[in-house]
Structure formats: C-alpha cells, structure tokens
Structure 1
Amino acid sequence: MLRIILFASTALTILGSPAIAQEQLRPGREVTGSLSPGDDRLDSGEFRDLFEFQGRAGQQVGLRLTSNDFDPYLMVRGPGDFSEDNDDASDDDRSALLNLRLPADGTYRVTATSYESGERGTYRLSLIGGSIAVPQGGGGGGQSTGGRLGTGTTRGQLARGDETLSSGEFVDSYALPVRRGQTYELALSASGFDPYLMVRGPGGLSEDNDDDPARRGTQDSRIRFTAPADGEATVSATSYESGETGSYSLSLDGGGGGERARDTRGDTGETALRLGETRTGRLARGDRQLDSGEFLNSFVFAGRRGQRLDLRLSSTDFDPYLSITGPGNFSGFNDDDADASDSRDSRLRVTLPADGEYRITATSYEAGETGSYRLSALADSGSARAEPAVQANERASSGGRITVGQTVAGTLGSGDETLDSGEYVDTYSFVGRRGERVAVELTSSAFDAYTILRTPSGEQRENDDGQDGTNSRLDTVLTEDGEYQVMVTSYASGETGSYRFIVSPSQGSPRQAAVQSGARVFAVMVGVSDYGGGQNNLPYTDEDARKLAETLQREGVLNPSSVVLTNAQATIGGVRAAFARVAAQAGPDDMFLFFFSGHGDQSDTAVTGLEPDGRSESIVLRDGEISDVEMSRLFGSLRTRLALLVLDSCYSGGFARNVVDRPGVMGLFSSEEDLTSAVADKFRAGGYLSHFLRTGMSGEADGDGDHLVTAGELATYLRRQFRTEVESVESETADGQRNYQNLVIDRGGVQVDDVILRLAAAGSAVGAR
C-alpha cells in the first residue's frame, strides 16, 4: 500500500516536468536505454527515463519493459487523468507489461523505472499496436499454455483454469516476433473442440478464422497473413464455443519465429537515414530477401514534398541496386549510375511528391549476392538551379485578381506592405465556390515561404511547412462562395526575394483521392417492427431499413448486392447468411455497412475488461438474438476499406468495446450501453439515429460541400442533431434508473478525414431530376 501511495504522489511530477527530455516511442519499434546516476528520479528515489507516444481513443497498445539488471516498473499517464502502472508481467516473469485500451486522443507519457530505489542498468522498451501476450509457464510433456511461438508445431491444451475471452472461451496466447512484409501461416487443429484462431499485432494487424476455407468439411482453423509492421504479434488459440476444452496442435510456417541474423557491422534493418548522411552496411545471408532471391537492407527517410534527393549506393563486392517507395504509391529504382557509364554503382535522383515516410532499399542486381556497401542520401544539386524566367501569363501585381490554375511570379522586397509582425507581404485575390478543393503552393529559393488564406467572411488559414527554408503548400476545401485573399509572405521578418505561387484545383489527400465513386457501399440493413409475439412490436423500425436503402440508392452509392431484411425475414440465420453473402462481394476499395433498427437486450456475463458491468449486449431479431461477441466475429471476416456498424436499439453502446477494436471499423450507437433508446415519433422514424443517418448520408453531413461525407463530418453532424433534437429525451436503465438518451460514436482507428462515402455530384445521382 505504501508503494501505491508514493507513486500516486509522483503523478503530477511526471506530467508537469516539461524540462525533462521525452523520447518519442513508435509502434513496432524497440528502444534500449539505461538507468544510471544522473538520471531524473521519482520522489521515492528510483531513477527514471521518460518517453511519449501519440494515441487515439479506442486504440489498443501493448508496452513491455525488460531488464537483466534490475526489476522493471512501468508507468503510463495520459489525457483525462489516465493512469496505469505495472510491476510484474506475471508471477513467473518480472518484466513489466501493460496492455491498454486508450481512452482519448492525445499524448501518453511512459516512465521506465525500477521497483527499488537506486537500481540501475540497461533495459529494453517496446510499444506495439495491439496486445502483448502475458507470459505463462509451460506445461510438461511437450505441452504449452502460452509463451513464445517458433517455427514448427507446438502442442497445447485448453483447460479449465486457463485465461478466458470475455465471451467465455478458454484461450492460450503466444508471442510471435514478426517482420514487415514477411508472410506467416498458422494452423490450429483439435479433435476435442472446434478450433478458433486470432492474431493481433503491430501496424493494426487483426485476423480471425474459424474454419480453414481451403479444407471444407474440417473444423481446423488456418490464418495466412503478411505483417504490416515490425514488432510482436499475439497469437491466440481458442475455441468457437465457450467452455470447450481439449488438446490441440498449433503450427507456424513461413516468416520464422526467431530473430533474423544481425549484421555484425550494425543494424541494417529499417533504421533512420537522414539527409547528408552516409551509412555503411553489409548484405548477408539471413537478411530479408525479395521474392526473386536478392538480400536487402531497408532504411526509413522522413521526406518533405518537393524535396530533391540524390541517393547513391556503391559496392566493390556486388552489383548495387537501389529503390525508394513512399506515400501515394510513389516508387523509383535504379541499377547503374547513368552519369558514370563505367560504374556499376547505383544512383537515384528523385523529387519527393508528398510529406511522409519513405523507404529506401539497398539490394543487389543478382540473387544471392552479398558484401559491404555505402549508402548516401544527399541534397540534389539540381535544387540550386536558377529560377526560370517569368512567363507572360505569370505576371500579376500585388492586390490584383488571379484565376484558379494561374501561376504567378513575384518578389518580396522593401517597399511592400508588411504584416504587424514585420514580414513583407503581397496580396492576391480569387473567386472561389463552396465545396471547391484548392491547393495554394508557394515556392522560393530566397526565403522561407509562408502563405495565409483568408475567406470571404474573414476566417484565416495559414501554412509554413517548417523553419528550414522549405516551400509552403496549403490544401483545403473552400467553405463559402465569394472572394478569397492569398497573402504571400515569409516566415521571418525582413526576408526578401523572388517567388512563384499558384492556386490550383486539388484532389485532396491521397487517401481521399483513392476512394472510388459509384455503388461502393455494400450494406446489410435490418429492421424489425413485427416481432410475432416474441417481443412487443415497434413502430417504424422496419421502415428505417427500407428508407436507408432508398436514400443510398438515390445517391447512387448502394451496391446492388446489398440486402434489406425486415420483420419475418430478419431471423438469425437470415442475417448471418446475408452478412456472409454481401461481405464476400465487398473488396478492399469498398465500404461495408451493417444497420439495425429494433429491440436491444442485455444479459448477465462474467465481469471482464470488455464487460466491466457484467452485462453482455445483443440485438433482438425475429427468432432470437445476435450478441456483441458474435458481431465482432462477423466484422472480423471483412476485408473492406472501411466498415460502419450502426445500431439504433436499446443498450447498443455496449457493442463498441467488442466490435470497434480493429482497423477501419467505426461504430454509431443510439444510446449508452446501459440505457434505452426512444422511438422518434416526431420524424415518423423508429429511432433518432436512423433518421439522422439517412439525412446525413443524403448530403447534409457534407459540411464543406466537396461531395465527400467523411467520418469526422458524419460524427459532427450526428452530434449536432442529437444536441438539438434528443438532449431532453428521457431514457432509463434495466433496473429503472432514469437519465437521458445519449449518442455513442466510436471511430476506433478510423481517421477524421477517412471517407464514409463519395456522393454523386449535384444532378448526377441516380434518380436525380
């Protein structure tokens, strides 16, 4: 108890010490460090090192701190007084381990320290996206109940006393080190129960499987996956039904469960490569390989849009081959330096298309070649070329009007107007329309470019892109009709020189531009009003499903394979079959929607991290119920760009914990997990969420008028409508406690500007007049 009190008192010290350096943690990466005299200390005397990472609400992460020199202790602090500590991962493992579901967006601070004051020594700290397997002791006779998974076959047994999932199934968890780009195949077989496999890991890795699709007639489970990032995955061997026990065999093939042989000259994995830096390395047996057999080393480069690179790879031991990949499917490669005809060395000169992370690969021309090399990342000397002469169509005077698409050349100099802070400024204007997406780009080799865009109503947006002389790009959707002003200026006062800028049409972010238009929404829409005597009937709920389908069809976004099930059609078997049929036709460019309007229910279950109130939620169909656990399994079968779960039913908020736990899934729920939902008689709708979902997806949620309804826009629209229309609607718990109906939105890993659907342009929608 004393220990807890002491650490509670240090929470403010940890959060309130901005002077202490805090290293950034990145998911899938491991850092090494040491506790030593001279380090900052906790109030209770332990040395500490501080780290931080950026987290999202609902994100699942795992942290592990290990040391051979001292007893590790982990502390995490975050938004909203979030606080978690751990001393020992398990009774048999004194490494510190925390598996967390983050409560809010923001910065999380991690403290690596020791259990006893004055302890010192080296440590390793890792952060993964997902959960880390809790170490368990191994059984005798070749049996296993968890631990580290290696290539080959591991035998184990599900038994009473094992850990359980929230839905009651026994589970054995294994740690599997994975490497980005490598493919792994897992197979789980058992004769005493129906096997079920789950994999969670770095980079949003989330895979589930019940029955091996390649072996019909068998209950065996098989998962084949390619790791999206380096790190440690958790493989869970469990059963389809709760309470099942028995022996099993778990096999791993491909990728390998062991560590890759390390280059004796240093880390030649995906380490950081900086501008102006030269690295020496070695291609060696045991390195990762291309499909064609060449060994490779990869490096990560943080690039900026418009940056020009001169990449050089040389070797006397093999024929070098150099490549680079990056945002927006950017790629470049080179075998021999074109500027040196007698050299086999590789040279690649590229201009980067966007800000972001680029991967530079050093490899060989022939498979199996090994040896030492030198890799350099230099600024391309071509970037120092003189600016071309001003063309006639580029001439415009400060204060004048320009057109969208016109390039303008000018000069900042003494005599120009100045901002209040002293920077020279030239001002131009153009006429824009609401919903138009434009990019304002300013380039200069003479000063640090800075742009300011002012809307007709006076709202101001600014862009600098750094303090190191880089160019400026401001990409935005215009929110009003009227005249916009563009102010061309510099980051620092007094800077002068020539520049070029353009206001041009823009496709937006690569992620948005890649979203295809047309009938890309694959939906299963279920509404039950007539319960056939099994429950009291509900008004309008069947119409909610029909009207949603009509809305999406009218907007030209509903795929013909979509299904509407109402009343007697809405059986458990009917919903399962419809889900499987529609999901099988939806691909990686599509959006999947499951919508339900009807009764919701609760039932008692074990108190777990996923069900802290000891209550499991379900939707009520004509002949029975589908639980949040089964819904999670159904969503686990999807391979779509994005998936949306919308439930307009009592207690529906309880589905968020179980379903919105994987990348690309967003949940909309009409009420909190312990409260009822009301019928929206005012709108002749079964529920308020059903009504506002229809109006939002018909275009009202498109706040900026760009014909895209994004996750952020839909969430904002629904919250505003609920504040206006639903905040005084009474609600109650199952035992009669009274409150008000509140909307629950969980975006999980879905980002604010991820596109829910792309609307047809005005006048071109199906059925438009």
Structure 2
Amino acid sequence: MTHARAASALSLSLLLGCAATRPALRSPAASTEAPAVDLSWGDTRAELTASDASAGDGRLARRYAIALSEGERVRFTMRSTALDARLVVDGPAGLHIDNDDAFPGRNDSAVMFVAPAAGRYSVRATTAGRAQPGAFTLRAERLTASEGAPLALGATAESALDAAPGEAMPGRWFHFEARAGARVRLRVTSAAFDTVATVLGPRGQSWVNDDANDLGPDRTERPLDSTLEVMIPESGTYHLVVTSYGARGAGAFRVASSERPPVMLRAGEEAPSVGYAGADGRGRVLGLYAGITAYTGHSTLYGCADDARYLGEAMRAAHLQGAGDQTVLVDGAATRAAFAAGLAGLAARARPEDVVVVFFSGHGNVRPAAAGDRTELDGIDETIELADGPLTDTEVAAALSGVRAGTVILALDSCHAGGFADDWVTGPGRIGLFSSDADVLSDTAEPRRAGGYLSWYLRRAVLGEADARPRDGVLQAGELTDYLYAGFVADHARMNPPGSNDPYQRLESSRGSVPWTQALWMYPRRPDGALSPVPEVALTSPEP
C-alpha cells in the first residue's frame, strides 16, 4: 500500500446492470401509441407502416390487449420475413417481459408465461430496429403445463431435431418440474448440429446458451455444444427447448441433466451442513484472511487489519462460513510462520469439491528474483510483507500448490500484487485477484473506509452484491470478477486523481481455466425457499 489520500465519505452503493435473462418487474413506460386493440386467440395478421405511432423510440408498434385468468399458461409469437420482430408484454402484478429473438440466430419473437393474476395484459408488437415497416403474424395460444416430452432431472434423454418446422414452434421441447432454489444443470450435445439450449420459466424468464466453449467433463464433446446452469427462482414447470443455431442443421442429440436441491440453513447452523460450494455444489468455502495495519519495519497503514477481519465477518454474515472454516491473522499475529501454517491447514482440510479463499491486505514490495527463476521475466520477485518479513510470489505459489481444492482464489490488496499472477495462475482451478499491476503501487481506500479498494469490493461481493447477473442465489466466477472490475471503474478517479503522473492503479484479475459461468458458491435460502436479502452489515473502518 502507499500513503492515504484524503477524501470525504462516499456512497457505499455500486450500481450494476442485470442480465436480460429474466423479466424486470416494473411499470411500463408511458406510450403515445394508439389505444390497444383486443387480441383474439389464434393468428392475427397485420402490417407495421409509417403511420403506426411509436413510443418515442423510433420503432413502429401495434398494441393489443387480452384478458387472462390467474394461472393461465399462454404463448405469444410474432413472425415476419420483412422485419426483426420484438414483443413486449405488460400485465398485473408488475409483469414486464421484453423479447427480441425467441432463439439465437432467429428474428422471430416469442414470450411464454403463466399469468400471475387475472386481468388485462398488454401485448406490444414492435421491432428490434428503428423504422422497420412490414407484415407480421401475431399468434396467441393457450398452453398446457406439459409442452413437449417429460424430462427427468438426473437422467439422460436421447432425441432428434427435425428440419425447420415451418409454422410450428421451432426446436424439440421438453418440460420438467423444479423447486425454488434448486440448481439445475443441462448439457445438450450433438455431433450433427450446432446446439442451442433455451430454458423458459413460468414468469417469462429465459436462459440461453449457444456454445459452452468447453469439451465436457471427459473432454470428448464439442465447444459448439450447450450448457445451462439455472438457479430456479420459483417452483413450477420449466421448459427446455433444443434448437440448431440459425435453423441450420438437424439430427440426433443428447440431454444430460442434474439437480442440486435448494441450500437451506438449519436452526443453529453458522453455514450449511450440506454441500453448497464449488462447480458441482457439493463443497464448502474455507479461508485464510490476513491484514496488517500496524507494522514495525514499515509505515503504518489505514484499515488493512480490518480488511481481514471484515472479509471473515462478511463470509459469516452471508452464512458461507462458520468460525471454524476460517483463519484470521491481523497485525503482529500475521507472521510468516502463521501465514504458512494457515496455508498448510488449508492443504490438510481442503477437498476437491471445496473453494478456498486466501486473502492479504498490507504492504507489498519487490526484490531480485533467485538466479534461474524463469517465471520472472523482469528478474524481480514480488512480495507480501508480513509482520516479521516478506513472502515472495514464488514461496506463496509453492505453498498453495498443496491445496487440492477445486477452486482456489488468491486475493492480494498490496503494492505490486499483480506480479503474483505469473507464479499463481499456472494450473487449473486457480483465480487471481490483484489490486494493481506488478509495477504499480496500490492505494489505501479512506474514501471507502477500507484498507484497500479490492478489500472493500471483495467483502461487499461476498455479502451477495456481486450476485446480480442475475440475482439468483449463486455467485459465478465471472459475476465476481465483473463486480470487482465495475468497482474499480467507479473508483478510478479516487485511486488515480486527475493531474497525477503516477501509473494508473487498476484491478489485475485472471480466472485462468475457470469459466465465467462456474459457480463459486450458493447462498443459503430461507425455509420458504426465498432468497435472503443482502445482509445489512457496514464493514467499515473508523474514520481516519
């Protein structure tokens, strides 16, 4: 860390956008369009022309209305060869669904949902682009709860995709029942075509994957195959639709599925007694958190010991760890021997299904690398400065190599922290989170009342703020790194004041072989299956 920069207290909130994989519950925007026309069941053929008013966004639109009963399952489809169709549905109970392409590579639009309440629903037939006239067909259908073939979660299904079906809905449809809070994984593989997997939920939610970009668990499958992991938001009937990208291709395919039950916290538990972490949801979260504010051989810092304490507290507040799942070392207790013993303890306890988090906040430094060390292209070792001396990036990586957890996160909030990446992110399952590049200093974060900016955003992320794309109760590796990147962007001017000639401090992050979508952990749910709100925990150091 470098010296502190004075600044006033700032808002603790970070605004993140939600992915468009589930409907937003909001009131529809005011419209200048003509009054809605009653929509009948079946096909309605119409044409968008220049005389059709828009809602101020330059897109032509026709608005329809239809009465639905509570619990009625419906599907609206808009098809056209002349324009890129888009449907927007608004209704009682704040329902709002906006769909451009029903399936990747197709310009038709479709929405399917179970009406949350009786009343009149607005169906807006419009376009993805501006000023697109042309003829279209709008179809309104009542559906049963069992579209397609039944899919038993946990089993494998064999089927085949036919050629383009013309007027019928595309793809091979399946349905399955799922409980709120369950984690459902669907893998669609085919040697015959480029698969697309789409899951449709009872409130119009959709989850889509075209290419998983991996080779599957036994490395015999194709990157063009599809994988979806869905945290089920509410109990009910869900649909899996298998299509080919752009309606190009057909043939045999296989669906492999699994379901992890909801993670519930039992009375008296600090953290769930059943598995809740790791790629398959069967592991725990273990941690070593060290921070030093009061040094004897270096300048005193602000808030770094609190960074370690508060990360541990955040893990406990989110019910991801109990006291026995973490080791917290602060100030004089954070010695070389104690830190090494903490790593050895993780190596002894961690199992392949677990997630391990190793964190340090304090001074960092550099020194000449040992002769013959080919990992250091600049000939320099980076260090973390513990209470009684340094540990180099080479030493830390070597000690961590004995930790056999499926995922190990090394998070360092210290000067030159990025230099650890070359030594650490060299094997599978390793994630590196570093507060600055190898040749850049890291600033203390008095504006956030934290020892460092990485520390501040990491503990907020752990509480649940990073679980936002979507907010579904599972934190994915990419959600975590994206949240941290957004935080560093938001605080860029505080770390790098205008007019300064110092190199910019920025987040250095590497997920290595860990994909964006890989789950780190699931947050425990309430007894009714609902997701708990983000805990209201301040986690701020005293005013400097």
Q: TM-score, normalised by structure 2?
A: 0.52
Contact 1:650–1:676 (8 Å) recurs in 2 = yes
1:641 shift after superposition = 2.0
Check 1:474–1:480 CA distance in 2 against 1; reply closer, same or farther (3 A cut): same
Does the C-alpha gap of structure 1 residues 537 and 425 become closer, same or farther in structure 2, counting only changes over 3 Å? closer
Are 2:450 and 1:685 equivalent residues in the alignment?
yes
The 1:496–1:561 alpha-carbon spacing in structure 2 relative to 1, beyond 3 Å, is closer
1:309-708 matches, within 5 Å, as 399-403=141-145, 407=149, 418=167, 461=208, 475-477=228-230, 506-507=259-260, 514-516=280-282, 520-532=284-296, 534-559=297-322, 560-605=324-369, 609-702=374-467, 703-708=469-474
Cα 1:609–1:400 shift into 2, 3 Å: farther
User: Counterparts of 1:634 and 1:722 in 2: how far apart (Å)?
Assistant: 29
Asked if structure 2 preserves the Cα contact closer than 8 Å seen for 1:406 and 1:502, the reply is: no
Deviation at 1:571, TM superposition (A): 1.5
Aligned residue type for 1:418: E
Q: Distance in 2 between matches of 1:652 and 1:495?
A: 49
Q: Are the counterparts in 1 of residues 278 and 406 from structure 2 also a CA contact under 8 Å?
A: no
Map of 1:54 onto structure 2: none
Question: What is the CA–CA distance in structure 2 between the aligned matches of 1:717 and 1:628, rounded to whole Å?
Answer: 25
Letter in 2 for 1:399: E
Match of 2:388, SS state, is: coil
Determine the C-alpha separation between the residues in 1 that align with 2:513 and 2:187: 31
Is the partner of 1:740 in helix, strand or coil? coil
Aligned-partner Cα distance in 2 for 1:460–1:585: 36
Q: Percent identity?
A: 30
CA–CA separation in structure 2 for the residues paired with 1:502 and 1:705: 26
What are the Cα deviations for residues 415-456 of structure 1, in whole angstroms up to 9, with x where unaligned? Answer: 98628xxx867999999999775578999xxx9997655787
How big is the shift at 1:464? 10
Would the alpha carbon gap of residues 412 and 644 (structure 1) be closer, same or farther in structure 2, given more than 3 Å must change? closer
Deviates more, 1:584-593 or 1:543-552: 584-593
Contact 2:231 2:474 in 1 (8 A): no
Contact 2:233/2:472 (<8 A) preserved = no
Distance across 1 between alignment mates of 2:187 and 2:285: 35
What CA RMSD, in Å, does the superposition of the two structures yield over aligned residues? 5.2
Q: Separation in 2 of the partners of 1:425 and 1:768?
A: 42
Q: Determine the C-alpha separation between the residues in 1 that align with 2:534 and 2:209.
A: 41
Q: Which amino acid aligns with 2:406?
A: R
Letter in 2 for 1:645: L
Q: 1:743 to 1:402 in 2, by over 3 A?
A: farther
C-alpha separation in 2, matches of 1:762 and 1:754: 24
Distance 2:422 2:162 in 1: 59
How far apart, CA to CA, are the structure 1 residues paired with 2:248 and 2:380?
65
Q: Cα offset for 1:488? A: 7.2
Aligned-residue offset at 1:697: 1.6
1:381-405 per-position Cα deviation (integer Å, ceiling 9, x unaligned): xxxxxxxxxxxxxxxx993344489
| Matching residue within 470, 474, 486 for 1:720 | 486
**1:744 to 2:508 alignment:** yes
**Aligned residue pair count:** 353
Is the CA contact (8 Å cut-off) linking 2:171 and 2:242 kept in structure 1?
Answer: yes
Q: Decide whether aligned partners of structure 1 residues 687 and 402 sit closer, same or farther in structure 2, where only a CA change above 3 A counts.
A: farther
Q: Find the aligned partners of 1:637 and 1:574 in 2 and give their Cα distance.
A: 16
Separation in structure 1 between the aligned mates of residue 286 and residue 163 of structure 2, nearest angstrom: 60
C-alpha contact 2:354 2:405 (8 A) present in aligned 1: yes
Counterparts of 2:352 and 2:249, CA distance in 1: 48
> Displacement of 1:679 after TM fit?
1.2
Report Cα offsets for 1:105-155 as digits up to 9, x if no partner: xxxxxxxxxxxxxxxxxxxxxxxxxxxxxxxxxxxxxxxxxxxxxxxxxxx
Q: Which amino acid aligns with 2:356?
A: F
SS at match of 1:584: helix
Q: Contact between 2:164 and 2:247, CA under 8 Å: does it hold in 1? A: no
Structure 2 CA distance for partners of 1:661 and 1:404, relative to 1, 3 Å: farther
TM-aligned CA distance change 1:610 to 1:501, over 3 Å? closer
Cα 1:727–1:476 shift into 2, 3 Å: farther
Q: Deviations over 1:220-265 (max 9, x none)?
A: xxxxxxxxxxxxxxxxxxxxxxxxxxxxxxxxxxxxxxxxxxxxxx
Query: If you compute each CA radius of gyration, which structure gives the higher value, 1 or 2?
Result: 1
CA contact (8 A) 1:398 1:426 kept: no
Kindly provide the amino acid, as one letter, of the partner of residue 716 in structure 1.
Answer: D
Are the counterparts in 1 of residues 173 and 240 from structure 2 also a CA contact under 8 Å?
Answer: yes
Contact 2:150–2:174 under 8 Å retained in 1: no
Aligned to 1:710: 476
Per-residue deviation, residues 176-208 of structure 1 (Å, max 9, x unmatched): xxxxxxxxxxxxxxxxxxxxxxxxxxxxxxxxx
Residues of 1 paired with 2:172 and 2:514: CA distance?
40
**How far 1:671 moved relative to its partner?**
0.4
CA distance in 2: counterparts of 1:623 and 1:449, whole angstroms:
56
Cα shift at 1:493: 7.5
Single out whichever of 741-750 and 759-768 deviates more from structure 2.
759-768
C-alpha distance 398-666 of structure 1, shift in aligned 2 (>3 A)? same
**Kept in 1: contact 2:463–2:535 (CA 8 A):** no
Alignment partners' CA distance in 1, 2:426 and 2:199: 39
Q: How does 1:190-269 map to 2 (within 5 A)?
A: none
Distance in 2 separating the partners of 1:537 and 1:603: 21
SS of the residue aligned with 2:450?
coil
Distance 1:436 1:579 in 2: 33
**Residues 288 and 359 in structure 2, CA contact (< 8 A), matched pair in contact too:** yes
Offset of 1:754 from its aligned partner?
A: 3.3
Amino acid in the other structure paired with 1:699: G
1:753 aligns with 2:500: no
2:523 partner letter = L
Q: CA deviation at 1:673?
A: 0.3
Partner amino acid for 1:549? G
Q: CA offset at residue 501 of structure 1?
A: 12
**2-side partners of 1:418 and 1:475: how far apart?**
27
Kindly tell me: are residues 427 and 541 of structure 1, through their superposed partners in 2, closer, same or farther at Cα, counting changes over 3 Å? same
Q: Distance in 1 between matches of 2:163 and 2:504?
A: 63
Task: Identify the structure with the greater strand proportion.
Answer: 1
**Structure with greater contact order relative to length (CA < 8 Å, sep ≥ 6):** 2
Separation in structure 2 between the aligned mates of residue 765 and residue 492 of structure 1, nearest angstrom? 39
Deviation digits for residues 25-52 of structure 1 (CA, Å, limit 9, x no counterpart): xxxxxxxxxxxxxxxxxxxxxxxxxxxx
Q: Which amino acid aligns with 2:338?
A: G
Cα distance in structure 2, aligned partners of 1:451 and 1:670 = 37
CA shift digits 1:265-286 (9 cap, x unpaired)? xxxxxxxxxxxxxxxxxxxxxx
Within 1, Cα distance between the matches of 2:405 and 2:412?
Answer: 20
Shift, 1:666, TM fit: 1.5
- Give me the whole-angstrom Cα distance separating, in 2, the residues matched to 1:462 and 1:569: 48
- What SS does structure 1 have at the residue aligned with 2:503? strand
How far off is 1:623 after superposition?
A: 1.6
Equivalent pair of 1:596/1:647 in contact (CA under 8 Å): yes
Cα pair distance change 1:731/1:563, threshold 3 Å? farther
Task: State the distance in 2 between where 1:496 and 1:642 align.
Answer: 37
List aligned pairs for 1:101-112, cutoff 5 A: none
1:88-103 pair list within 5 angstroms: none
Identify if the C-alpha distance between structure 1 residues 681 and 401 changes in structure 2 by more than 3 Å, giving closer, same or farther.
farther
